[in-house]
Amino acid sequence: GAGVSQSPRYKVAKRGQDVALRCDPISGHVSLFWYQQALGQGPEFLTYFQNEAQLDKSGLPSDRFFAERPEGSVSTLKIQRTQQEDSAVYLCASQKGGLSTEAFFGQGTRLTVV
Amino acid sequence: SQQGEEDPQALSIQEGENATMNCSYKTSINNLQWYRQNSGRGLVHLILIRSNEREKHSGRLRVTLDTSKKSSSLLITASRAADTASYFCATRGLTGGGNKLTFGTGTQLKVEL
């Protein structure tokens, strides 16, 4: 596709519910990132994949957060037993590879936990 | 956690004026990037400057980098109403786990007609 695609765009979950957020990166992009952006703040790093390998998950806030990219393309961010503090926009980004390349971001999934 | 701060937090100017935003960061970097975010289009990459570069231009954008002061500035010349957005700097660290981007807190720019 032309860009990074995320779905759903909006998700309302009841506290305690599990959610799954999907990211379709740009075809051929080796690297994939997930970020969390709270209202009025900059995005904060959650996790990073190179192909199917999860090389950095240091930003995941708790063991309720889990991400996978089993075939090195589409990625899913799963949040179990959602809490109100999980409400945020979840952004996915992909890049061709290497430190000196730009990241392309999807439009994000806005998660609201009620 | 956020890498650093952006200054000012909010900026309001008239169309045609120049807008300058500053960014400070804390650790050594491979490169620094500027992104724009508005509600309609998500985060859009604007420009990347490497740690061994001091200045870079792209259209109406001019970016400077001072690694000794760990700071960068973004200048938008001849601003337009369509430039209204939040602007973020983001740094990419050195090799060895530095592939992630660490964002600043952002500057909200409003360009009025």
What average pLDDT does range B76-80 have in this prediction?
98
What are A69's two structure tokens? 């990219």
Q: For residue B73, what pLDDT is reported?
A: 98
Q: Are the C-beta atoms of B77 and B59 separated by less than 8 Å?
A: no
Confidence of residue B95 (pLDDT cuts 50, 70, 90): low
Residue labelled with tokens 């506290």: A15
Contacts of A50 in chain B (CB under 8 A): 99
Contacts of A41 in chain B (CB under 8 A): 2, 105-106
Contact between chains at B100 and A48 (C-beta distance less than 8 A): yes
Q: Where are the alpha helices (DSSP H) in chain A?
A: none
Residue labelled with tokens 């109406």: B60
Q: For residue B58, what pLDDT is reported?
A: 96
Tell me how many helices (H) and strands (E) chain B has. 0, 11
Omega into A43 within 30° of 0, i.e. cis?
Answer: no
Contact between chains at B2 and A91 (C-beta distance less than 8 A): no
What are A103's two structure tokens? 């990241």
Q: Are the C-beta atoms of B6 and B98 separated by less than 8 Å?
A: no
Q: Are the C-beta atoms of A92 and A33 separated by less than 8 Å?
A: yes
pLDDT at B4 over 80: no
Residues A79, A21: Cα–Cα separation, whole Å: 8
The alpha carbon dihedral of B37, B43, B48, B51 has a sign of: positive
Q: B36-69: per-residue pLDDT in tens?
A: 999 766 899 999 999 999 999 999 999 999 999 9
Q: For residue B82, what pLDDT is reported?
A: 94
Omega into A61 within 30° of 0, i.e. cis?
Answer: no
pLDDT at A77 over 90: yes
Q: Are the C-beta atoms of B25 and B90 separated by less than 8 Å?
A: no
Residue of A36, A39, A44 to mutate, testing the B interface (most B Cβ within 10 Å of its Cβ): A44
Contact between chains at B105 and A42 (C-beta distance less than 8 A): yes
Strands (E), B1-113: 5-7, 10-14, 19-24, 31-38, 42-50, 55-58, 61-66, 71-76, 85-92, 101-103, 107-112
Q: A11-70: per-residue pLDDT in tens?
A: 999 999 999 999 999 999 999 999 999 998 999 999 999 999 999 999 999 999 999 999
Q: For residue B42, what pLDDT is reported?
A: 81
Task: Quickly count: other Cβ atoms within 10 Å of residue A100's Cβ.
Answer: 13
Rg value, chain B, Cα: 14
Contacts of B99 in chain A (CB under 8 A): 31, 48, 50, 55-56, 99
pLDDT at B98 over 60: no
Enumerate chain B positions whose Cβ falls within 8 A of a Cβ in A: 1-2, 30-31, 33, 35, 41-45, 48, 50, 88, 90, 92, 95, 97-106
pLDDT at B97 over 90: no
pLDDT at B11 over 90: yes
Q: Are the C-beta atoms of A42 and B88 separated by less than 8 Å?
A: yes
Percent of chain B with pLDDT over 70: 91
Confidence of residue B99 (pLDDT cuts 50, 70, 90): confident
Tally C-beta pairs within 8 A across A and B: 63
Contacts of B98 in chain A (CB under 8 A): 99
